[in-house]
Amino acid sequence: RKEVEQDPGPFNVPEGATVAFNCTYSNSASQSFFWYRQDCRKEPKLLMSVYSSGNEDGRFTAQLNRASQYISLLIRDSKLSDSATYLCAVIRIRSGGSYIPTFGRGTSLIVHP
Amino acid sequence: GAVVSQHPSWVICKSGTSVKIECRSLDFQATTMFWYRQFPKQSLMLMATSNEGSKATYEQGVEKDKFLINHASLTLSTLTVTSAHPEDSSFYICSARADKVNLNTEAFFGQGTRLTVV
């Protein structure tokens, strides 16, 4: 089983729709969580961190469920410009103290007019 | 946000040659830099982690003699793909963090290098 799993999609939604992505992780020692956005042939850019209590940034809401080991990203009122691949990143500390980031393969979102 | 500059953005090289990729943090000191490889429609695969002044930690399955990493200063790390083969063709991305302690500190990515070995 992969350490971080995401449904690759694509999710094809109309403008204005609400869409949600999930990301599951297998290592219960994971400690920090992020959502990144990656446009085609570009580097990932941080969208938001994910906090235990859940957090919101404009149209984007991120939540963490430690018991079930998944994080989610909700996008409300989708815009054409939201079309991209959304990667979740899970951070754990390996024995020895090194910080290990692991990414999911990403979920592709296509927002159409 | 902080700026990480990666160079070159793309390179085509002949099989058997070596290619060096640079990753620079322009406005912060990067205590840790990460090197990733991404194949089309795949996730970012961590290749190695480098801390300034010490040897890189390679992930399982990554040949350290083939992918040479040097992190000589707090603002520069380099990845050299030695004796490149067509199967090394991929998108290589670096990222850098300034904070060794706070897990919630984000890592900033370079623009990536698209390597094609012919």
Question: Which pLDDT tens digit goes with each residue over A50-61?
Answer: 988 889 999 999
Do the Cβ atoms of A101 and B103 come within 8 Å? no
Rg (CA), chain B: 14
Mean pLDDT, all residues of chain B: 89
- Under the banding of pLDDT at 50, 70 and 90, the label for residue B13 is very high
For position A92, what pLDDT does the model report? 85
What separation in angstroms does the CA of A29 have from each of A26, A33, A100? 9, 12, 11
What separation in angstroms does the CA of B36 have from each of A10, A29, A46, A79, B96? 24, 22, 16, 30, 11
B57-83 pLDDT, tens per residue? 999 999 999 999 998 888 999 999 999
What residue type is A29 in one-letter code? A
Whether residue A69 is predicted with pLDDT greater than 80 in this model: the reply is yes
Do the Cβ atoms of B42 and A105 come within 8 Å? yes
- Chain B residues whose CB is inside 8 A of the A8 CB are 41
Do the Cβ atoms of B112 and A42 come within 8 Å? yes
Q: Which of B78, B71, B81, B75 is nearest to B115 (CA)?
A: B81
Sequential DSSP letters for A23-69 = EEES-TT--EEEEEEE-TTS-EEEEEEE-TT-EEETTEEEEEETTTT
Residues contacting residue B40 through CB under 8 Å, at least 6 positions apart? none
B111 contact A CB<8A:
yes
